[in-house]
Amino acid sequence: MGPIMKFQVVVLAGGMSKKLFPLVSKDVPKALLPVGNRPVLSYVLELLEANNLKDLIVVVAGEDAAVRVGGWITEAYDGRLHVEVAAVSEDIGTADALRAVLHRLVVDDVLVVSGDIVSDVPLGAIAAAHRRKRAVLTAMLCSSPSASTAEAISSTGKDKAKKPSPIDIVGLDTSHQHLLFLASGTQVDKDVKIRRSLIRVVDQMEIHMDLMDAHLYAFNRAILQEVLELCQGIKSIKQDLVPYLVRSQSKFGAIASGDTQTEAVGKTPNKDDSGQPQTPMQDIVPLPQHILPGVLHPASLELTCCVYIASEGKYCSRVNSIQTYGDINRDQVAGELVFLTGYTVSNQNNVIHPTAEIGSKTTVGPQCMVGDGSKLGDKCSVKKSIVGRHCRIGSNVKIINSVVMNHVTVEDGCLIQGSVICSNVHLQERANLKDCQVGAGYIITANSEHKAEALSKREKS
């Protein structure tokens, strides 16, 4: 059996992310950033596994990162998933990364998933929508997290340093099935330019600001290859490839309808003989339409970029900035997403690993997570936070709204609030952190006080 339902999966796991600067490092590529004490990538892989997609290509930027990711995957998913890890050089766009693995794609359609998605959307639905429409591109949209972000901001206090998450501007037809326009808010200055020919085809177009592109796409493989080979200028999927396809669809549509007219009569429905399609569109136009012009609704003929909008109850979010990282971790411990992590929740509505040791008079509040092997001293207080594995936390420590990764040492009397502490960080006594991000291996001196700072070790030169 070949790939199931003729879909192949490419996971773009990325490498180092500038946006997540202090958190990711050489040792911890983005894909392995722990979310709820599990690497981000595991959520994607498990989503794929749950959907019975077990043959994956994972593209990682950077050789080192690729080795690490590959090592982790083989360790964690040995025998369950068949994963090929491909390394591409750093600092190339997503489309370039896709181009690098293009030769491995052989079947009809390709599902391209960003490695930083935490979601439970049914992939089958996206694939089905893609197939049903015979689309060139199907993008998954989910409702933009702006609302939750707003809450998060208010809860964490104002911080102006953080940019508001970029808004996507999405143009849809009235049936909410076709994608007519897509641009991320950062690209758009003031005006949104939309082709008039497109409007002529669809009559009406809705512009949505409340939807977010989830970076989960289904592509028609033939078109994808064609486009990527023809247009070497396409660097990024989101910024170049998708808009290109969306822009081209009405143009392609014209070609398609022209074909149906000219070839309406007596075209042999013999796909095998014709071999490879000459132009991308010929492959899309289904044969029955050649035979019976206008059997189908004309709009469906011409619009080949589709969307799947995740339903309300589904969660979908990306770890692409420090803020979203914090949000997702919070969401997770807030119980909404615990089912994604697969941990069982205790009566106090928190997740404490049985091997964790907790000192006397220490309280671990609801919506918290403590990893295995961590030791908490006496009279600590942990609220709405995640404590990773093998952390040693002294007495009288308060951790609120924070993420503490693995192997962190926190000495007595520290106060950590709204911060992200990476692995192997050492907090000396009575350090006080508020809204900080601390890079891996950093040592915070005793009695120091930091507020809204990004602290990290200097890269070894």
Please give the backbone phi and psi of residue 23, each rounded to the nearest 5 degrees, phi first. Answer: -80, -45
Check the CA dihedral 385-352-364-358 and report its sign: negative
Judged by CB under 8 A, does residue 446 bind another protein? no
Judged by CB under 8 A, does residue 281 bind another protein? no
Q: At what angle do helices 146-156 and 322-333 cross, to 10 degrees?
A: 90
Judged by CB under 8 A, does residue 128 bind another protein? yes
Which residue's structure tokens are 């010929």?
A: 282
With contacts defined by CB under 8 A, name the span among 46-54, 388-396, 413-421, 435-443 that binds another protein.
46-54
Judged by CB under 8 A, does residue 294 bind another protein? yes
Judged by CB under 8 A, does residue 185 bind another protein? no
Query: For residue 411, what are the contacts with CB-CB under 8 A and spacing of at least 6?
Result: 394, 426, 427, 428, 429, 430, 431, 446
Name the minimum Å distance from CB 318 to another protein.
22
Please give the backbone phi and psi of residue 196, each rounded to the nearest 5 degrees, phi first. Answer: -70, -35
Binding mask 93-122 for another protein (x = CB under 8 A): ---------------x-------------x
Question: DSSP assignment of 129-184, as one string?
Answer: HHHHHT-SEEEEEEE-THHHHHHHHHHH---TTSPPPPPEEEEE-TTS-BEEEEEE
Name the minimum Å distance from CB 124 to another protein.
3
User: Is residue 118 within 8 Å of 319, Cβ to Cβ?
Assistant: yes
One of 174, 268, 346, 355 touching another protein (CB under 8 A): 268
Name the minimum Å distance from CB 57 to another protein.
16
With contacts defined by CB under 8 A, name the span among 1-9, 154-162, 220-228, 441-449 that binds another protein.
1-9
Alpha helices in 31-84 (DSSP H): 40-50, 63-77
Judged by CB under 8 A, does residue 258 bind another protein? no
Name the β-bridge partners of 433: 416, 450
Calpha distance 13→227 (Å, rounded): 22
Judged by CB under 8 A, does residue 4 bind another protein? yes
Judged by CB under 8 A, does residue 129 bind another protein? yes
Binding mask 387-416 for another protein (x = CB under 8 A): ------------------------------
Judged by CB under 8 A, does residue 255 bind another protein? no
Name the minimum Å distance from CB 294 to another protein.
5
Contacts with another protein, residue ranges (CB under 8 A): 4-7, 51-53, 108, 122-125, 127-129, 131-134, 265-266, 268-270, 272, 286-288, 291-292, 294-298, 300
